[in-house]
Amino acid sequence: MNVDDLLDVLGNESRRRILYLLSQRPCYVSEIAYRLKMAPKVVLEHLDKLERVGLVKSFEEGKRRYYYIDRSLRLEVTLTPHNFSAKLIENGNVDEKDIYDVIRNIDEVKYIDGLRDLSDTIRRMKRMQDVLSKLQYRINSKITKMLEDLIATLEKFTRDDVEKIVLYGLIKGLSVFEIADYFGLMYSDVESALRRLESRGLVERFIENGRVVWRFRG
């Protein structure tokens, strides 16, 4: 994937909104159009561009075509008085020794008067940045895998789609209002699902700073 192509695609607010929606779950065109208040034709045009750069794919289920995010990647943009760069990271492979070296040496880096020593020090610090970038990608990949395992595990607790979404939202640390807004649900439906889950002993409510908060039981 070309970084310039990726930046061009992500530079459009509508496409960013579509990706944000697809990061929640696979969606079909009319669903995206309804949620984002966009014309279906416009949604298809944006999806076509996202497919061409390899960010999304689609599959058919019944009479509907669902779109979903196909890959994990990390885009880093650096802007300082002396540097502007954009880097795409799709590989989190990093030697653990390198990680320990960064942790051990980062506080030992000092400014040096000699030009050669200063240049060498800057190269060392850039290498540290590369190691940490790969480590962040690796952590994000682990979180993604855990969330995928979690979604599969939710099948053991409920077959109700709204209840699955609510449980998923709680794991992400969302409040009732945030779950409703994030997933495009009615607030009353989220509340009803929480009460059903509470009656089965899966979640509980408590008061925190004067407001009702839901959490997993046990």
Indicate the domain borders of the chain: 3-69, 74-142, 161-216
Query: What stretch of H or E contains 59?
Result: strand 56-61
What is the C-alpha separation between 144 and 120, in angstroms, rounded?
37
What was the pLDDT predicted at 190? 95
pLDDT in tens, the chain (218 residues): 788 989 999 999 999 999 999 988 899 999 999 989 999 999 999 999 999 999 999 999 888 999 999 888 888 888 889 889 888 888 778 777 777 777 776 766 665 666 666 777 777 778 888 888 888 888 888 888 888 888 788 888 898 989 999 998 898 888 899 999 888 889 999 999 999 999 999 999 988 888 888 999 86
Identify the CATH number of the domain defined by range 3-69. 1.10.10.10
pTM summary value: 0.71
Q: In 94-132, which positions are buried (b, 16+ CB within 10 angstroms) versus exposed (e)?
A: beeebbeebeeeeeeeeeeeeeeeeeeeeeeeeebeebb
Level-2 CATH architecture, domain 161-216: Orthogonal Bundle (1.10)
Q: Is 109 helix (H, G, I), strand (E, B) or coil?
A: coil
Q: Is 152 helix (H, G, I), strand (E, B) or coil?
A: helix
